[in-house]
Amino acid sequence: MAAYLQWRRFAFFDRDVLTEPDGKPVLLPPGITVCDSGRGSLVFGDILAVSGQIWFLLRNLELSSFQAYKLRVTHLYQLKQHSILASVGEDEEGINPLVKVWNLEKRDGGNPLCTRIFPAIPGNKPTVVSCLTVHENLNFMAIGFTDGSVVLTKGDITRDRHSKSQILHEGSYPITGLAFRQSGKTTHLFVATTENIQCYTLSVKDYPKLELDTRGCGLRCSTLSDPSQDLQFIVAGDECVYLYQPDERGPCFAFEGQKLIAHWYRGYLVIVSKERKPSPKSEFAGSDPQNSDKQILNIYDLGNKFIAYSSVFDDVVDVLAEWGCLYVLTRDGKLHALQEKDTQTKLEMLFRKNLFEMAIHLARSHHLDSDGLSEIFRQYGDHLYNKGNHDGAIQQYIRTIGKLEPSYVIRKFLDAQRIHNLTAYLQTLHLQSLANADHTTLLLNCYTKLKDISKLEEFIKTSESEVHFDVETAIKVLRQAGCYSHAVYLAEKHAHHEWYLKIQLEDIKNYQEALRYIGKLPFEQAESNMKRYGKILMHHVPNETTELLKVLCTNYQPVGDREGPGALEGRKANPDEFIPIFANNSRELKAFLEHMSEVQPGSPQGVYDTLLELRLQNWAHEQDPQVKERLHNEAISLLKSGKFRSVFDKALVLCQMHNFKDGVLYLYEQGKLFQQIMHYHMQNEQYKKVVEVCELYGDQEACLWEQALGYFAHKEEDCKEYITAVLKHIETKNLMPPLLVVQTLAHNSTATLSVIKDYLVSKLQKQSRQIEQDEQRIQKYREETKRIRKEIEELKSSPKIFQKTKCSICTSALELPSVHFLCGHSFHQHCFESYSESGSECPTCLPENRKVMDMIRAQEQKRDLHDQFQHQMKCSNDSFSVVADYFGRGVFNKLTLITDLPPGKSAAVLDAGLQRELLIHTKRST
């Protein structure tokens, strides 16, 4: 039970008398005792005047009326959702109350249409009506009587034909209040008497009832709240105000005074009471309209526990609510308007009294938006902060999160003595995911300053779905504060791999753990982190780092994915990119490269280049002969593996840098650099090797012998043996002219004539034999030429006798007609015509003659090539290409025409055809 004396009083309503536009008060007709409101008007009825009028006051203060009953109107009920008015009154003297239902939207002769009239009598016993209520769905009407009866009309209340009335309740105590309650599809009817409170369930067959209390109330001292109070039935007793649910009694409030009227208005309970406290029975009997005691009207806010307004009135008739305002009708016919102040004005009134908690409750009950509530919390927090209540202030500031700028609060609590308040605020800020990186930094610093490790761990060890801070910022702050274990935990949990490795390697120095962590990462991240931290790891844990690199470059899978027969084929990194990691670890580098070359034969070229360099270095610095021989064989086998064809020059440079003779010679041989092989032996003065190289590769490159001869010719040592061997081969292959050989050997002071005596004698003998052969050939050509000339002369001067008996084509005996040629060939005419391409040429001699003619034509065409050749040579940027083109076309092939004339004949006399016949081939000039 809450005593109202503990409730604060406010003036949240402005009181004024309803006046006309000219300033005069609005006066209602005398005798008004019953009233109601709804649908935009105030409805009044009289019980004293014998007129039976129902009055309507519109918002423009226009007053109208119509004759509803002949005598008086005793009860009115205006529905809020329909233009239906239910009334109870009397048309004749005696206890003959009639219920009339009016449709205010329809007219009958200027008056509202009365759709239904029926007597309000329970059974056959005339009884005075005490209260009336109608359900908003127009399906229920309840009428209470002074004899304790309740008549329920079910069906369409506007029509007789569609409704049915029955006595719902009978008792010995007068009915003082009725109210329908609709909750979903369930309909309840609260019945209040002077002695008890009951509830009927109308949506269930037989209408079961439940007695809620054994104390009652007076007339008009009960009402039904709105949904803000869960549609509770409110009963105002003289000692307390009780609230009822359909199945139980709810809270009660100790509001003193004799209650006259109870009314519900927009979340407020309006009670009109007197100071004296009669019993409910005397109140029922004492509702004498002539009673003119002073009355107190209190407006209670039950939810926020305060009195919103309190004022004294003279003889209140009833309280009405319409047009957003509360109206109090007094016996003198005046209407007093109670206008509620706006929410902001009410809040300011509370602020001035520092009633912030009450302001918060009020704002929430008025459904103030979050911005408005936040401002109240801020002002409340400022008030508590100025009073020194920092704990209470921070609680209010926490409620402003999301609306108030956090820096406003943070600046107030940066003092070291208030750090625990600041921590609480920052924690809530993070829980609502409204913190930025600076807030995270500040909160973690607060934890470290307070040395609250448990809170720190609770903050960072939240589940993934509850992380409300910037993880990277938290890692940085924890690292700076020296909380490495917490920083590592966050980095690992939230997959900040770089931070995890940076802390492990730079701060904790746990290289084994860092290497293990890298082995669990996905391929791309493992690769990048090994490139970044590989040198550090190689320096401290070389063997483990090398093993991880082997896996990374062959068939990498994260540690958790490698097991099981169904493991997928991993990815491979480029081993070239990790070679710089082994800068100071040649032993591990060699093991890594040898592993790559064995396991992955298709490794990048850099692997083999570096491995060759390592083997050559080891070979060059090794002192043990047996080990040196083994290293020598390893280097040679690597060179012979065929991995250096595309980088021949690089391998050659490496071998030369380390003076690896066998490797250099092998590469020279593979690259067909025979001159370099010979020059290598020449530099080392290995005469025998020089001759061997010439013997091995002289057929492929003949100039080797000439170079060998020049090399030995410039040596002052006794090299007769080698010179003789070289000269012998030069002579056999006819590689150099003898004069050039003599000039070459002239530079050697030890090479006497005896060295080349045999060469010169042999050469002269060959030349002598060649001269003899040439002379014999010349003599032969002269005799042949003489014979041809003789034949030509005979053809020109003597007759030609054709004695051929067979055809030169078909070899059959000649028969006329036949064709004979001066060359001595004869043909059948039909054979000649069949095979001959020209009627003037011998078919048998034609192929040979054509060859000669083609040669002559080619010679004639080449006569004009000189000028063209010279022009192209001048205009071209590459003269060598022009010369090569002409050589390819045979322009420079030498043709010799022998025209030795017979004695006494001149060149002009020779027939052109005979000149062509004398054309012979000569071999090309060398």
Taking only the tens place, the pLDDT of each residue in 251-286 is 899 888 889 999 999 889 999 998 654 444 444 444
- Look at residue 305 and tell me if it is in a domain: yes
Read off the pLDDT band of 905 (50, 70, 90): very low
Backbone angles phi, psi at 71, to 5 degrees: -105, -70
Q: Distance between the two ends of the chain, CA-based, in angstroms?
A: 138
Nearest Cα neighbor of 179 from 191, 167, 165 is: 191
Residue appearing with tokens 């939230």: 494
Q: Return the pLDDT at 347.
A: 83
> How many Cα atoms sit within 13 Å of 826 on the Cβ side?
17
| pLDDT at residue 555 greater than cutoff 60 | yes
| Residues in contact with 74: Cβ distance below 8 Å, sequence separation at least 6, in sequence order | 34, 45, 47, 88, 89, 90, 97, 129
On whether the CB atoms of residues 224 and 177 are closer than 8 A, the answer is no
Nearest Cα neighbor of 485 from 461, 520, 519 is: 461
332 and 261 co-located in one domain: yes
Rounded to the nearest 5 degrees, what angle is found at the Cα of 346, between the Cα atoms of 342 and 352?
A: 145
User: How many whole angstroms from its chain centre is CA 673?
Assistant: 59
Which string of DSSP letters, residue by residue, matches 120-179?
--STTS---EEEEEE-TTSSEEEEEETTS-EEEEEE-TT-STTEEEEEEE--SS-EEEEE
Which string of DSSP letters, residue by residue, matches 426-479?
HHHHHHTT---HHHHHHHHHHHHHHT-HHHHHHHHT--GGG--S-HHHHHHHHH
Residue 205, H or E segment? none
Backbone angles phi, psi at 590, to 5 degrees: -65, -40
836 and 751 co-located in one domain: no
Q: Return the pLDDT at 149.
A: 92
| Residues in contact with 377: Cβ distance below 8 Å, sequence separation at least 6, in sequence order | 360, 396, 397, 399, 400, 404
- Among 81-95, 160-174, 350-364, name the one with the lowest average pLDDT: 350-364
**Hey, what's the torsion of the CAs at 397, 400, 402, 408, to 10 degrees?**
-50
Q: Return the pLDDT at 130.
A: 94
Rounded CA-CA distance 537/531 in Å is: 10
- Look at residue 789 and tell me if it is in a domain: no
Rounded CA-CA distance 321/317 in Å is: 14
- At 443, list the tokens: 């909160």
- At 689, list the tokens: 């090797």
Residue 333 burial by CB count (10 A; 0-12/13-18/19+): exposed, middle or buried? Answer: middle
Q: How large is the angle between the packed helices 605-621 and 648-657, nearest 10 degrees? A: 10
- At 652, list the tokens: 């050659």
Read off the pLDDT band of 921 (50, 70, 90): very low
Q: Return the pLDDT at 638.
A: 67
User: 375-430 pLDDT, tens per residue?
Assistant: 888 888 888 888 888 888 888 888 888 888 888 888 888 876 788 888 888 888 88
| pLDDT at residue 525 greater than cutoff 80 | yes
User: 460-513 pLDDT, tens per residue?
Assistant: 666 454 565 677 777 777 777 777 777 777 777 777 888 888 887 777 788 888
Query: How many domains does the chain divide into?
Result: 3
Q: Look up residue 756 and give its DSSP letter.
A: H
Which residues on neighbouring strands pair with residue 191, listed in sequence order?
178, 198
On whether the CB atoms of residues 676 and 683 are closer than 8 A, the answer is no
750 and 678 co-located in one domain: yes
User: 155-164 pLDDT, tens per residue?
Assistant: 999 988 878 8
- At 636, list the tokens: 């040679």
Q: Return the pLDDT at 766.
A: 81
User: 415-434 pLDDT, tens per residue?
Assistant: 767 888 888 888 888 878 78
- At 907, list the tokens: 């060149």
Alpha helices in 83-221 (DSSP H): none
Rounded CA-CA distance 813/815 in Å is: 6
261 and 327 co-located in one domain: yes
734 and 819 co-located in one domain: no
Over range 686-695, report the average pLDDT: 68
**Hey, what's the torsion of the CAs at 879, 880, 886, 892, to 10 degrees?**
110
* Cα Rg of the chain (Å, integer): 66
Rounded CA-CA distance 239/261 in Å is: 14
Over range 641-656, report the average pLDDT: 66
Q: Return the pLDDT at 705.
A: 67
| pLDDT at residue 121 greater than cutoff 80 | yes
Q: Look up residue 556 and give its DSSP letter.
A: B
- Look at residue 722 and tell me if it is in a domain: yes
Other residues' Cβ atoms within 10 Å of the Cβ of residue 38 = 20
Q: Return the pLDDT at 915.
A: 38
Helix (H) and strand (E) counts for the chain?
31, 32
- Look at residue 867 and tell me if it is in a domain: no
Question: 3-state SS of the chain: helix, strand, coil percent to 5?
Answer: 45, 20, 35
Look up the CATH number of the domain holding residue 297.
Answer: 2.40.10.480
Other residues' Cβ atoms within 10 Å of the Cβ of residue 166 = 11
User: Considering 301, 323, 340, which residue would you say is the last residue of a domain?
Assistant: 340
Q: Return the pLDDT at 876.
A: 73
- Look at residue 121 and tell me if it is in a domain: no
Q: Return the pLDDT at 532.
A: 84
| pLDDT at residue 834 greater than cutoff 80 | no
Q: How large is the angle between the packed helices 687-697 and 674-683, nearest 10 degrees? A: 170
Read off the pLDDT band of 899 (50, 70, 90): very low
Rounded to the nearest 5 degrees, what angle is found at the Cα of 199, between the Cα atoms of 197 and 205?
A: 155
Of 600 and 546, which is predicted with more confidence?
A: 546
On whether the CB atoms of residues 173 and 196 are closer than 8 A, the answer is yes
Q: Return the pLDDT at 923.
A: 29
Residue 43 burial by CB count (10 A; 0-12/13-18/19+): exposed, middle or buried? Answer: buried
Alpha helices in 182-279 (DSSP H): none
| pLDDT at residue 223 greater than cutoff 60 | yes
Q: Return the pLDDT at 757.
A: 67
733 and 815 co-located in one domain: no
Over range 54-61, report the average pLDDT: 91
> Cis peptide before 251, with omega less than 30 degrees from 0?
no
Q: Return the pLDDT at 195.
A: 92
User: 230-246 pLDDT, tens per residue?
Assistant: 899 999 998 899 999 99
User: 790-809 pLDDT, tens per residue?
Assistant: 878 877 887 877 777 788 77
732 and 811 co-located in one domain: no
- At 586, list the tokens: 């040649």
812 and 745 co-located in one domain: no
Backbone angles phi, psi at 466, to 5 degrees: -110, 15
On whether the CB atoms of residues 899 and 915 are closer than 8 A, the answer is yes
User: Considering 765, 798, 821, which residue would you say is the last residue of a domain?
Assistant: 765
Over range 664-686, report the average pLDDT: 65
- At 634, list the tokens: 């390893």
| Residues in contact with 443: Cβ distance below 8 Å, sequence separation at least 6, in sequence order | 423, 426, 427, 429, 430, 435, 459, 469
| Residues in contact with 370: Cβ distance below 8 Å, sequence separation at least 6, in sequence order | 402, 403
- Look at residue 688 and tell me if it is in a domain: yes
- Among 563-577, 595-609, 833-847, name the one with the lowest average pLDDT: 563-577
Share of the chain above pLDDT 90, in %: 20
On whether the CB atoms of residues 892 and 858 are closer than 8 A, the answer is no
Read off the pLDDT band of 208 (50, 70, 90): very high
Q: Return the pLDDT at 200.
A: 95
> Which domain does 262 fall in, by range?
1-30+255-277+293-340
749 and 816 co-located in one domain: no
- Among 508-522, 657-671, 817-831, name the one with the lowest average pLDDT: 657-671
Q: Indicate the SS3 state at residue 738.
A: helix
| pLDDT at residue 4 greater than cutoff 70 | no
- Look at residue 714 and tell me if it is in a domain: yes
Which residues on neighbouring strands pair with residue 64, listed in sequence order?
56
Cα torsion 894, 897, 900, 904: sign: negative
- At 892, list the tokens: 């420079």
- Look at residue 329 and tell me if it is in a domain: yes
Of 738 and 32, which is predicted with more confidence?
A: 32
682 and 749 co-located in one domain: yes
831 and 760 co-located in one domain: no
Q: Return the pLDDT at 529.
A: 84
| pLDDT at residue 1 greater than cutoff 50 | no
| pLDDT at residue 909 greater than cutoff 60 | no
Which residues on neighbouring strands pair with residue 274, listed in sequence order?
258
Q: Return the pLDDT at 838.
A: 72
Q: Look over the chain and give the mean of its residue pLDDT values, rounded to a whole number.
A: 78
679 and 742 co-located in one domain: yes
Nearest Cα neighbor of 119 from 102, 99, 90, 142 is: 99
